């Protein structure tokens, strides 16, 4: 997106010191970079594209914390033989045909463009500061490394990394930092790097999610008997090792529930997407939904406040797989409430985080 260039006052100061000596490399205007990151996406839904994506994702030591030799055998001998085909079919049901990409890639790009437009409108800082916004994925393309290189090439010597995970987990937020730090290790002239913290209890985020739920419910032709707040699960072992994710999810759910004025029975916290045979954070989303249907609940809505953008886990797993569990169990009305995505409320949350974390730079 073309944005009118703003000159950093410090760049003017440098320019005023005098002409550069002969042979000196060109000096770019000093700029500030903002890098939005999310989990990632395969490049396509075919077997080999899915295999590359899953291999990078599932080989991450923070995602799967088991013996590496044993996991190598399981991953390469079993999982990467069977899972790419199955997950490719799942991705195919939600694929953005027009752009030939996953919804997560489409939404993250749009979040970036709209945040850059906020810069142009002067919503993130005063005149005289040039902020460039880019985006990268932890797994797949565009990579975090390529985004950092683009920002540095544009003269960004200060970069704010914004992992778009409201709640911190080693398997999400930390992996984004890992990838950024790996890229910095290969740079001769490293930019200064800040990392935005998780925003599980940020008032703007809580208000935006609550407002989006209210708006979505107002458009339904039924009133849910129960609303489930479903967060991505992690193995229970990670909690016992000190990961704060479970506590932050519980706080987010409580604050949203209180904002909506609902009881704990009406607004329930669950965890989805478990993988393997180990115990994960409970209660499980799928089992909770099956149990509610069995108890006679006929009208249900599910919101996913742990995701900043809709993806396979929200669209297909919640809107497809879990909706099917509910209907097969006797449920009649099911609604999947969309993530904040690139909605005005969602962009205001990102603006608020970026504006706060850039203090002292702008």
Where do runs of H (alpha helix) occur along 59-127?
A: 68-74, 80-94, 103-120
Pick from 138, 137, 189, 186: which is nearest to 159 by CA?
189
Res 280: pLDDT: 97
232 is in an annotated binding site: yes
Side-by-side strand order, sheet with 192-195: 131-140, 31-41, 156-163, 192-195
62, 175 Cβ separation under 8 angstroms: yes
pLDDT for 18 equals 64
Give the number of other CB atoms < 10 A from CB of residue 25.
Answer: 6
DSSP-derived secondary structure letter, 296: T
Beta pairing, strands 333-337 & 31-41: unpaired
Mean pLDDT by 10 residues, the chain (362 residues): 45 56 76 96 97 96 93 95 96 97 98 94 78 96 96 95 98 96 94 97 98 98 98 96 97 98 97 92 98 98 98 98 98 98 98 95 88
To the question of pTM greater than 0.75 for the whole model, the response is yes
Which region, left, alpha or beta, applies to residue 271 given φ > 0 means left and ψ of -120 to 50 means alpha?
beta
Helix segments in the chain, DSSP class H: 9-15, 47-58, 68-74, 80-94, 103-120, 144-153, 173-185, 203-218, 236-240, 245-260, 285-294, 312, 323-328, 344-357
No. of H helices and E strands in the chain? 14, 8
pLDDT of the residue at 24: 73
Question: Cα dihedral sign for 209, 212, 216, 217?
Answer: positive
What is the total residue count of the chain? Answer: 362
- CATH 3.40.50.1400 in the chain is located at 203-337
In the structure encoding, which two tokens stand for residue 237, read together? 């072992």
Residue 20's pLDDT is 73
Total Cβ atoms within 10 A of residue 189 = 6
Query: What Rg, from alpha-carbon coordinates, does the chain have?
Result: 22
Q: Any idea which residue has 């990838």 for tokens?
A: 179
pLDDT for the residue numbered 14: 47
Is 203-337 CATH 3.40.50.1980?
no
Q: Is 313 annotated as a binding residue?
A: yes
Answer yes or no: are the C-beta atoms of 32 and 130 closer than 8 Å. yes
Cα dihedral sign, 247-199-336-225 = positive
Cβ atoms < 10 Å from Cβ of 125: 18
**Cβ contacts of 202-205, under 8 Å, gap ≥ 24:** 202/166, 202/349, 202/352, 202/353, 204/348, 204/349, 204/352, 205/166, 205/349
Residue carrying the six token digits 């690139």: 342
Taking a C-beta distance cutoff of 8 angstroms, is the pair 229, 269 a contact? yes
Contact 208, 346 (CB under 8 A): yes
Cα–Cα dist 213/339, whole Å? 9
The vertex-333 CA angle with 332 and 335, nearest 5°, equals: 150
Distance of CA 194 to the CA centre of its chain: 18
184 exposed, middle or buried (CB, 10 Å; 0-12, 13-18, 19+)? Answer: middle
């Amino acid at each position: 997106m073309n944005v009118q260039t703003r000159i950093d006052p410090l760049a003017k100061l440098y320019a005023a010191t005098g002409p550069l000596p002969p042979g000196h490399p060109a000096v770019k205007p000093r700029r500030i970079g903002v890098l939005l990151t999310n989990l990632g996406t395969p490049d396509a839904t075919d077997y080999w594209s899915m295999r590359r994506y899953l291999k990078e994702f599932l080989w991450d030591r923070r995602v799967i914390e088991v013996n590496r030799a044993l996991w190598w055998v399981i991953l390469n001998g079993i999982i990467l033989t069977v899972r790419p085909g199955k997950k490719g079919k799942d991705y195919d049901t939600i694929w953005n045909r027009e752009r030939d990409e996953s919804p997560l890639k489409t939404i993250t790009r749009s979040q970036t463009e709209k945040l850059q437009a906020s810069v142009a409108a002067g919503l993130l800082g005063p005149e005289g500061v040039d902020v460039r916004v880019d985006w990268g994925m932890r797994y797949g393309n565009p990579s975090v490394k390529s985004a950092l290189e683009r920002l540095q090439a544009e003269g960004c010597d200060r970069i704010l990394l914004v992992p778009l995970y409201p709640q911190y987990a080693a398997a999400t937020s930390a992996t984004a930092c890992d990838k950024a730090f790996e890229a910095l290790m290969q740079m001769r002239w490293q930019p200064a790097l800040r990392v935005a913290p998780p925003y599980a209890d940020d008032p703007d985020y809580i208000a935006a999610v609550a407002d989006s739920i209210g708006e979505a419910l107002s458009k339904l032709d039924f009133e849910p008997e129960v609303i489930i707040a479903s967060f991505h699960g992690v193995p229970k072992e990670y909690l016992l090792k000190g990961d704060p994710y479970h506590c932050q999810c519980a706080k987010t759910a409580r604050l949203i529930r209180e904002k909506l004025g609902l009881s704990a029975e009406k607004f329930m916290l669950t965890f989805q997407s478990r993988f393997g045979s180990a115990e994960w954070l409970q209660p499980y989303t799928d089992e909770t939904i099956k149990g509610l249907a069995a108890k006679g609940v006929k009208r249900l809505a599910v919101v996913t406040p742990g995701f900043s953008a809709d993806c396979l886990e929200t669209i297909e797993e919640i809107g497809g797989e879990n909706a099917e569990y509910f209907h097969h169990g006797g449920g009649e009305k099911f609604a999947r409430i969309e993530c904040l995505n690139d909605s005005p409320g969602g962009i205001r949350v990102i603006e608020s985080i970026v504006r706060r974390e850039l203090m002292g730079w702008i």
